[in-house]
Structure 1
Amino acid sequence: MSTLAVVGAGPQLGMSIARRFAREGFSVALLARSVEQLEKLAATLRDEGAEAGAFPADIRDADGLRTALAAAEERFGGVDVLEFSPAPSLADLRKQPLVDASEVTVESVLPEFDLYVRGGITAVRQVLPGMLSRGTGTIIFTTGAGSGPMIAPHVANVQIATGGLRNWALNLHASLAGRGVYVAHVALAAMIGQGGPDAEPDAIANAYWTLHTERAEPELVYHAMPENWQMGAVADKFVVD
């Protein structure tokens, strides 16, 4: 049985991705900070017939993230698909607010690098050796469309980090071509659950399954914004998972 690990799992998109892959026979490892929420999500998946486990970890804690992924690999026999989608909580945003491009400081960017870039590298370094040894694997990074395709200067401190993660994802796709491991970046221009059927988490999750199965393009820019959306009213991810 193949295994999906969702790093940054939440009750909306993360859960829909988990369900989509579980329907195809995947075991699911859920990783995020909230122990209570993870246990509830994993229990729901098990009630629905999936094999699922909760592995609490703070993405900014490299040792803790490695330990959680290692535990998932030990339980399920390896991670075949890694979906990396960190999202700041409202509490995070209160402590580390969004910063306009004209006001960016080194101090405002470093925590975002810890979350997106350091977290992404840590997660990949844990699972990639196993994928390469098996000759197959999928890695999908998720950020807001402000990581590159869209411009939103009011969240520049986040976008500096997500832009770096996107750049590395695209280069990793090229570096691993021909070695059995497929890498993709999803740029979400969507407010999940708002904006019509295409913005529903289950609809977005279908796009992740297509990426995994077709293994074609290095990037998907997913557009599903409400008609009268205001850029200043949403954060970099355009989503709260």
Structure 2
Amino acid sequence: MADPLFTLQAMPAIAARLALRGFDPATMLRTAGLPESQLEAEVTAPLSRLTAFMDAAAAKLEDPILGITLADTLDPSAFGFTAFASRAAPTVRLGLRTLSDLAALINPIGLFTLHERSPTATLEYVVAGSDRGLGCHLNEHTLWLVARYAKDALAGGFPLERAWVLHHRDALGIAALEARLECSVEFGAPSVGFSFASALLDARPRGADEQLFEFLTAQARGLLDARTSDVIAAVMRAIELRIADPQLGISKIAKVLALSPRSVQR
């Protein structure tokens, strides 16, 4: 199975919590095969390494819902144009659609899909080619980031009716997650997502601004078009991440990028 690149914006917050508890985050990064230089910035690395690091950090911090804890600390500015445009949308519907359209600016390996039904709508997140999605903590991290920003954007809140994740949990993890999300959670589902009252789709967020929304969306689409065509930069990043591997070759670079060797050669 391919091991695609994933960008984690919460690395500085994780490192700070580990240091406060007396653990050396740099050592933990090295153990997981992650670049120590990224302690104070977002980090882009093979997903399996980030998943292993998150599991280790959660165990050290004794925080069974570390992904959600970290999501509570992240300002929307960490996600650039995607977050800004979504928050300026005139309705929740347009905000979630914009998230779906522009999510690749944050991480291109996943897809958000809004399903509009009545009386309940759903937002679903899938990672192509992965039966675990982003792993336990990053699945929950992604789910709660969207739900939290939606709750903050609406004066009346954004109550979830239910949620679901791909991974499984023990009884302690189940209780902690359901208490935090304030809804029932299905484990071992085929995707990550949540449902909510479809009437909320027409609600106007606090930060709604039609002109700003149009401007930010246009800027974001321009960035998305540029990023889509910049294959060389992605290849160089993969090379940098694997440079210490004595068996580095086209096939390994292709695996990191989730591409075929022929596509990388082109």
Common fold: TM-score over 0.5: no
TM-score category (smaller protein): 0.3 to 0.5
Whichever structure has more strand as a proportion of its residues is: 1
- State the TM-score, normalizing by the size of structure 2: 0.32
Larger Rg: 2
- State the TM-score, normalizing by the size of structure 1: 0.34
